[in-house]
Amino acid sequence: MNFSELKYNDAGLIPCIVQDANTGEVLMMAWMSAESIGLTLERGETVFWSRSRQELWHKGATSGNTQKLVDLRYDCDADTLLALVHPAGPACHTGERTCFYRSLVKG
């Protein structure tokens, strides 16, 4: 499949789960446009679409915490992506390794 054939939402975006290729830890979820997917594949580093800033977002461009792409998978419905990466540093802007550091169950 070519990435242009994926199913994008009304805003032209598709969710991308980011997972550490070595540890299996789920690091974050962000959104990609067709353009950002193309750039991700071209550069070999994750590039998202920032919904808050409405612009392309090369993860780590300012923080240095880039994510080197190992694989980019898509699901059975072709409406969700899974990026396997080697992260250069914490994924979360809080400094946590993963954005999912809190639990609804365990408090």
Binding residues for Mg(2+): 75, 77, 79
Match 């080197």 to its residue by tokens: 68
CB-CB contact of 16 with 29 (8 Å):
yes
Which among 51, 54, 40, 42 is positioned nearest to 82, based on CA atoms?
Answer: 40
Chain centre to alpha carbon of residue 19: 8
Distance CA 50, CA 55 (A): 5
Report the nearest approach of its own copies to the CB of residue 58 (Å).
18
Question: Which is nearer to its own copies, 88 or 100 (by Cβ)?
Answer: 100
Report the nearest approach of its own copies to the CB of residue 71 (Å).
5
Residues in the site for its own copies, rule: CB under 8 A? 1, 3, 15, 17, 19, 23-26, 28-29, 37, 41, 69, 71-77, 80-82, 92-94, 96, 99-106
Question: Which is nearer to its own copies, 19 or 66 (by Cβ)?
Answer: 19
